Amino acid sequence: MRAHTYQLLICGLFIALSSCRKEPAIQGSNSNPSTESDDQLKITSVNEDYLPLTVKTIAGKRNVKGYLDGTGDAALFNGSWGIELTDDGNLYVADIFNNKIRKITPDGVVTTVKIPLRPDRTSLRNPAVIKIAKDGTMNILALEYTYNFKYRVWIVKPNGELYNPEIKSNEFFVDMGKDPYEDNYWICGAQTTGNGSARGLIAKFLTVNDTLGTNPYSPDNNQIVDPQYPSITGIFCGYNGVKYLVVNQRYIYKLTKSGEFKRIFINYNFRGIYSIIANKDSRTVYVADDGRILAISNNHLQFLVGPRAPYDGRDGVGSSADVRAHHMVLSKDENTLYFTDYSHYTIRKILLK
Q: What is the DSSP string of 217-279?
A: E---GGGSSSTT---EEEEEE-TTSPEEEEETTTEEEEE-TT--EEEESTTB----EEEEEE-
Nearest CA among 284, 321, 286, 285 for reference residue 305 = 321
* CATH classification at residue 94: 2.120.10.30
Of 15, 18, 85, 95, the residue nearest 60 (C-alpha): 95
> What pLDDT sits at residue 86?
97
Domain membership flag for residue 297: no
Residue 73 lies in a domain: yes
Residue 234 and residue 188 in contact, taking contact as beta carbons nearer than 8 Å: yes
Say what the pLDDT of residue 167 is. 87
**What is the per-residue pLDDT for 148?**
59
Among the listed residues 59, 151, 135, the one whose alpha carbon sits nearest the alpha carbon of residue 103: 59
| Cα separation, 134 vs 153, whole angstroms | 19
| Residue in 277, 280, 250 with CA at minimum distance from that of residue 263 | 250
Could you tell me if residue 302 is inside a domain? no
> Would residue 200 count as lying in a domain?
yes
Domain tally, the chain: 1
Q: What is the pLDDT of residue 147?
A: 57
Element (H, E) at 15: helix 2-15
pLDDT of residue 149: 55
Low-confidence ranges of the chain (pLDDT < 50): 1-2, 5-6, 8-9, 15-24, 28-38
The domain of 111 spans 2-16+61-288
What phi and psi values does residue 319 have, to the nearest 5 degrees?
Answer: -70, -5
Residue 168 covered by a domain: yes
- The predicted pLDDT at position 22 comes to 41
In a domain, 309, yes or no: no
**261, part of any domain:** yes
Cα dihedral 34, 35, 37, 39 sign: positive
Residue-level pLDDT at 120: 86
Note whether residue 334 is domain-resident: no
CA dihedral (87, 338, 15, 63) positive or negative: negative
